[in-house]
Amino acid sequence: MDSKEQEFKPNIDDLEAKKDIKGLIKALKHEDHIVRKQAAVSLKKVGNESAVEALIEALNYEKWEDKYTVLIAVRENAAEALGKIGDKRAIEPLIKALFEDTDEEVRWKAAAALGKIGDPLAVEPLIHALNDKSWTVRRNVTISLGDLGDERAFDFILKSMNDKDWHVRKYAAVALGKIGDERAIDPLMKALNDEDGDVRWKSIIALGNIGTSAVEPLLKAFETDNWQTKSRVAEVLGKIGDKRAVSPLIQTLNNKNQNKYVRGRIIEALGKIGDERAVEPLIKALDDKYIYVRLKAENALDTIKTKGTGSWIVHYENGEISFDYPHSWEIIETTDEKKVIKGGVANNAINFSINRLEEAEDIKVEEFSGILKNVFLMQNSKIISEMEFKAKDMDAIILVGENPHKVSLTKIMIIAFKKKDLLFYLWFAGEHENFELFNEDIDFIVDSFHIQNS
């Protein structure tokens, strides 16, 4: 190889942008170790089946590589890339890396990659890797075994519930929930006394994933005096939706001394279960002194009213725009050419409008963003974030700000959509707490919005 070829360094960013896999494979074998690392990182993003053999070669560990830290990064990224590509040719090399590589980050990324590929051949090796000295490896082995969901791993994951590291115990609980075996109920119940809060929370979720057979144990756990555990158990009981939970939930809701967040979660759960026995206590909750509880009650009642009466989704279309919205939102069509729609939810906890900009053919969405930012500044409002994106066949931008003049800080969100000569912007305003409550509704409206062909 002549000196010119030795000195040549490929432009990895350019190769990645062009999705030049052959060029990246060549760079993966470059004499400069940093170039190899950059190529491995890029193949992690754009690699496909044609890169598998080269990535397997890059993953292969040799003892002399211990002298070069950057080569560890090459192997790490090669393992990740192989997991993302998902080709089964990588299974044996990844298993080899899981047991033979001296670097724990390579080993845990190999374990994660095996979980992503999802082949049962990896189950037995992953089970053996639960004995790895590194907790990061054991954690990712546990995650992968949970993703694989193979019954052969059940007893071994169960043992991991007693691992000395809480990260491993946490993901052992997650894995048991994914496998869904009823034998996990008692160990998961014991884990509700774990010293780590994350382990306790993931154990509650796992019990919920096991389903109706876990309802009675969860109701027992619901008797705790710990408000955080109580609220999380209520949340999971709502997701399961078993009516055995209704009476205990109502009884606790009627206790006004309960933490407001516990009552809020109970109300949510009752709404999801949808039993009519909850209607009267939920109506009483509409007079609660906390707006958080009142809003939850209003939403829960609305949910119960619609159960069994058809879809909760309402579709709006006027020839220019269309969108879907939860029927709990009040949507009013106006005669104003600029403000097409106005409305809100929960007695204007969130105010909402859809506005039309006239003569928008020559205005780009980013230019409109500049206009909006000037309006924000004139009102002494603070811009928190902005982001441009593509939505179907429309250019779009989202601006989030807050108005400091109010007694309670008002959050403002504006999402502008441009298609050909039409520009519409959705405007939402309310307190930060209310945005958190109705975040899913807002996302639903925004995601479904479309400017029709002009």
Task: Kindly report the CATH number that applies to the domain delimited by 313-451.
Answer: 3.40.1000.10
Place of tokens 């062009």: 18
pLDDT by 10s per residue, the chain, length 454: 444 445 478 999 999 999 999 999 999 999 899 999 999 999 999 999 999 999 999 999 888 777 778 899 999 999 999 999 999 999 999 999 999 999 999 999 999 999 999 999 999 999 999 999 999 999 999 999 999 999 999 999 999 999 999 999 999 999 999 999 999 999 999 999 999 999 999 999 999 999 999 999 999 999 999 999 999 999 999 999 999 999 999 999 998 788 999 999 999 999 999 887 888 888 889 889 999 999 999 999 888 876 644 345 788 999 899 999 887 788 999 988 889 999 998 778 899 999 998 777 788 888 888 888 888 887 778 889 999 888 888 999 999 998 876 556 789 999 999 998 889 999 999 988 788 878 888 999 999 999 986 5
Domain boundaries, given as residue ranges, for the chain: 211-310, 313-451
**Tokens read off for 192:** 């509700």
pLDDT at 1: 44
| Number of H-type helices and E-type strands within the chain | 23, 10
Neighbours of 153 (CB within 10 A): 24
For 181-226, give the DSSP string. -GGGHHHHHHGGG-SSHHHHHHHHHHHHHH-GGGHHHHHHHTT-S-
Please give the full DSSP string across 91-115, using - where no structure is assigned. HHHHHHHHHH-S-HHHHHHHHHHHH
> Which secondary-structure segment (H or E) carries 351?
strand 350-357
Q: Please tell me whether the overall predicted TM-score, pTM, comes out greater than 0.75 for this model.
A: no
Q: What are phi and psi of 37, to 5 degrees?
A: -60, -45
Evaluate whether 207 touches 177 at the Cβ level (below 8 Å). yes
Sheet hosting strand 321-326, strand order edge to edge: 313-317, 321-326, 450-451
The CATH number, out of the four listed (3.20.20.70, 3.40.630.10, 1.25.10.10, 3.40.50.150), of the domain defined by the range 211-310: 1.25.10.10
